[in-house]
Amino acid sequence: MKEIPTAPIDRFAKIMTIVVAFLILVTLTMYFAGEWSDAGVWGVGIAVLLLLILPLSYMLRPRLFVSPTHFEMRSILYSIKLPIREIKMVEMDQERTINIRTFGIGGVFGYFGYYNGKDLWLVTNKSKRVVLKTAKGKTYMVSPQDPLELINEIKKYQ
């Protein structure tokens, strides 16, 4: 099984990650400094949620693997295996300029979740997107460091 390196996060994702980390730090500092001491249970719940956002977002970053039989997208929180024979299309994604996030993360360490309804994105760099479509009609979007390497590896086994 060959690992295909994931692209480094793009500029927008870096800025979003820094801004979100800063806002979380300010919010938690104010909470624990007693500024919101009357927040009670809700305050503790929000503080815990904020403490989990960055580590969970980081754990969603994908690792990509290609074998003669499968393409796998893997992180600490998930593992998605697509049989190579079920991948009907794999190519650079140049056409999508506007994307609507249905459910997911839009910029903290990348773009993870469902976009445009049911497309599953595991993208760290929007300029290096590769779209994969399966025989069952599912669409996956990933961003390898070298998009052509991933495309060629998958096509080699099709």
User: Mean pLDDT across the stretch 25-34?
Assistant: 77
Instruction: Show me where the domains of the chain are located.
Output: 1-158
CA-CA distance, 62 to 55, in Å (whole number)? Answer: 14
pLDDT at position 148 is 95
Buried b (16+ CB within 10 A) or exposed e, 112-139: bbebeeebbbbbbbbebbbbbbbeeeeb
Tokens 């025989």 correspond to what residue? 135
For the chain, the average pLDDT equals: 84
Distance of CA 153 to the CA centre of its chain: 21
User: Mean pLDDT across the stretch 1-27?
Assistant: 88
List, in order, residues 6 or more apart from 71 with CB less than 8 Å away.
Answer: 64, 65, 81, 82, 84, 87, 132, 154
| Residue 50 pLDDT grade (very low, low, confident, very high; cuts 50, 70, 90) | confident
Span 1-158: which CATH code? 2.30.29.30
**Is the pLDDT reported for residue 20 higher than 80?**
yes
% the chain with pLDDT above 90: 40
Three-state DSSP at 112 gives: strand
More confident residue, 67 or 45: 67
**Is the pLDDT reported for residue 41 higher than 90?**
no
pTM above 0.95, yes or no: no
pLDDT at position 117 is 79
User: Mean pLDDT across the stretch 61-88?
Assistant: 92
User: Mean pLDDT across the stretch 19-36?
Assistant: 78
**Is the pLDDT reported for residue 23 higher than 90?**
no
Q: Is 74 exposed, middle or buried (0-12, 13-18, 19+ CB in 10 A)?
A: middle
